[in-house]
Amino acid sequence: MSTATEQQHWPGPLSAAVARLCTGLQPQVCERTAAGFAEVLRRLSAPLQVAVAGRIKSGKSTLVNALIGRRVAPTDVGECTRLVTRFQYGTVDRVEVVFHDGAKQAVPFDSDGGIPADLGVDIDTVSHLEAYLTNAVLRDLTVIDTPGLGSLDAASVARTEELLGTRQEAADSELDPVSRNAVAGAEAVLYVVTQGVRADDEHALAAFTAATASREAGPVNAIAVLNKADTIEPGSVEGAGGDVWKAASLLAEKQAQLLKPRVADVLPVIGLLAETAESGAFTAADAEALRGLAKLDEATRETMLMSADLFTTWECDVPAGTRSRLLERMDLYGIRCALEAIDAEPDITAGALRRRLRDASGLASVLGRLDTVFRARADGIKAAAALASVTALAHASGDPGERQRVHDAIEVLLAKPEAHQLRVLEALTLVAAGAVAMPPDLTEEVMRVGSSNDVAEQLGLPGRSRQELTDYALERANWWRSFSSFGATPAQSRIAHVVHRAYFLIWQQLRSG
């Protein structure tokens, strides 16, 4: 007989195992916890939930539009920038306002196909927005646009947490607030920073933990982008040689030092240019206007490109309104890129020019990382998030017997060989968050082994022969085994077991493959 669990489409074997755990436990827990488990099951079968988070005006919504490939999230002004909007896959494009009392109201798109900047409803009564779009990217990622973390006081963190927490399905399922909190929140985060991460941005990243309600952010489920790379003054970055992109890459590396291991990576990006290139906002008329600008003599052109003001006010044949539009869509750096592309290839088509802008935006690398960090590991990320929710629900129940039953069931699950990857993710998160202290070199090794699917990368020996890799894997497997028995604290020992096993499996794979 096939159960409901087997009929569902889970993202993979780990999620399926956690789903079985939930269904198995449901009859053994109180009604409230069981309702929470039902919610966990529902979330497990949904696409990975990725929150785009960061400071006010860091370009979150712009980046969301670039990812979706449509200018749909309002940017810059309007009350919607203060709301959480969930973009998910749907067969018909529509947007709904969800009120605090659970009521919903459809809102029409504006004439450009975007969510209107002002909704015409009392914003204080609104919980969040749900946008259903036909865009294919949303089939396996639900993208959550969040309001900027402006101040890092507890109140603003709590607000984001609550906003992310009071999502539609949680509200639908009539969970009490405690249970809702335990299952709410994003499963992964794309953290947007701009030039100069300061200490409080690290705090903001820690605040993501609050936003995700029950999950720690870590290299498993967090990526950062250094947005607005085009606005970096290359002269201010040593070693950039006056090159904007080089400067951005160097800064991103520096920020990675600060933010790792809380995030898997920091990638430079120009969200605005990515949005323009991906959303169809770049038109043949824009290309024509740029061609007009490319014909200007060198001195005029350079003068105009010195500032936004000069660009729009300088006397020239291309109408000022057209120039303002270009500026708004591409900013000066994007315009310069386009002009250089036209210089090199005067007959370049609008389509080819658009592709050049996309290349210049750095979006491809971001999408690549989203694939390898989030999409490829969605099963593990979702399963780990679900386990965290299950644990939180059991704790919230206040019944020690129930807590113990849930705890035992999780232990049984984690002890199974097929749950190894789940333990690796858990170990990574614990070490990255500093919950288990490790010497720096061992921390690095845990990160390396757990953060890749490529054996040579996991071993930190790219380009070595199979024999060398095999020998090294065995050596490290043995080292971690003895560390787990002799050198480690109990918490470290648990991690060491997992790392030992990871090396052992690598060794086995190398020997047989």
Ligand X SMILES: Nc1nc2c(ncn2[C@@H]2O[C@H](COP(=O)(O)OP(=O)(O)OP(=O)(O)O)[C@@H](O)[C@H]2O)c(=O)[nH]1
Q: Interface residues with ligand X (CB under 6 A)?
A: 56-62, 75-76, 81, 147-148, 227-228, 230-231, 270-272, 331
The secondary structure of 292-313, three-state, reads HHHCCCHHHHHHHCCCHHHHHH
Judged by beta carbon distances under 5 to 8 A according to partner kind, the member of ligand X, Mg ion, none in contact with residue 291 is none
Residues 448 and 431: beta-carbon distance below 8 Å: no
CB of 53 to Mg ion, least distance (A): 10
The residues in 23-62 that bind Mg ion, with binding defined as CB under 5 A, are 60-61
Q: In whole angstroms, what is the distance from residue 273 CA to residue 281 CA?
A: 10
Judged by beta carbon distances under 5 to 8 A according to partner kind, the member of Mg ion, ligand X, none in contact with residue 62 is ligand X
The residue (of 228 and 301) whose beta carbon lies closer to ligand X is 228
The residue (of 61 and 127) whose beta carbon lies closer to Mg ion is 61
CB of 75 to ligand X, least distance (A): 3
Q: In whole angstroms, what is the distance from residue 497 CA to residue 513 CA?
A: 24
The residue (of 145 and 445) whose beta carbon lies closer to ligand X is 145
C-alpha torsion angle, residues 152, 161, 56, 428 (rounded to 10): 80
- In Å, how far from its chain's centre is CA 422? 19
Residue window 224-263: x/- pattern of binding to Mg ion, with contact defined by CB under 5 A: ----------------------------------------
CB of 190 to ligand X, least distance (A): 12
Dihedrals phi, psi of 196, to nearest 5 degrees:
75, 70
Contacts of 150 (CB under 8 A, 6+ apart): 55, 56, 156
CB of 356 to Mg ion, least distance (A): 27
The residue (of 75 and 209) whose beta carbon lies closer to ligand X is 75
Contacts of 145 (CB under 8 A, 6+ apart): 52, 60, 61, 64, 73, 84, 85, 86, 87
CB of 160 to Mg ion, least distance (A): 12
Judged by beta carbon distances under 5 to 8 A according to partner kind, the member of ligand X, Mg ion, none in contact with residue 185 is none
Q: Is 194 in the site for Mg ion (CB under 5 A)?
A: no
- Amino acid (1-letter code) at residue 251: L
Query: Shortest Cβ contact with ligand X: which residue?
Result: 148
Judged by beta carbon distances under 5 to 8 A according to partner kind, the member of Mg ion, ligand X, none in contact with residue 371 is none
Judged by beta carbon distances under 5 to 8 A according to partner kind, the member of ligand X, Mg ion, none in contact with residue 420 is none
Judged by beta carbon distances under 5 to 8 A according to partner kind, the member of ligand X, Mg ion, none in contact with residue 57 is ligand X
Q: Round the CA-based radius of gyration of the chain to a whole number and report it.
A: 25
- Determine which helix (DSSP H) or strand (DSSP E) holds 106, and give its type and residue range: strand 104-107
CB of 256 to Mg ion, least distance (A): 24
CB of 241 to ligand X, least distance (A): 21
Q: Is 397 in the site for Mg ion (CB under 5 A)?
A: no
CB of 114 to ligand X, least distance (A): 12
The site that binds Mg ion (CB under 5 A) totals a number of residues, namely 3
Q: In whole angstroms, what is the distance from residue 70 CA to residue 62 CA?
A: 10
Q: Is 146 in the site for Mg ion (CB under 5 A)?
A: no
Q: In whole angstroms, what is the distance from residue 384 CA to residue 413 CA?
A: 12
Contacts of 413 (CB under 8 A, 6+ apart): 17, 18, 21, 387, 419, 422
Judged by beta carbon distances under 5 to 8 A according to partner kind, the member of Mg ion, ligand X, none in contact with residue 230 is ligand X
Q: How many CA atoms lie within 13 A of 86 on its CB side?
A: 26
Residues 446 and 499: beta-carbon distance below 8 Å: yes
Judged by beta carbon distances under 5 to 8 A according to partner kind, the member of ligand X, Mg ion, none in contact with residue 76 is ligand X
CB of 399 to ligand X, least distance (A): 41
484 DSSP assignment = I
CB of 263 to Mg ion, least distance (A): 20
Torsion 188-190-193-197 (CA) sign: positive
Query: Shortest Cβ contact with Mg ion: which residue?
Result: 61
Residue window 55-94: x/- pattern of binding to Mg ion, with contact defined by CB under 5 A: -----xx-------------------x-------------
The residue (of 62 and 181) whose beta carbon lies closer to ligand X is 62
Judged by beta carbon distances under 5 to 8 A according to partner kind, the member of Mg ion, ligand X, none in contact with residue 179 is none
β-strands 141-145, 85-89: how paired? antiparallel
The residue (of 76 and 118) whose beta carbon lies closer to ligand X is 76
Residues 265 and 223: beta-carbon distance below 8 Å: yes
Binding site for Mg ion (CB under 5 A): 60-61, 81
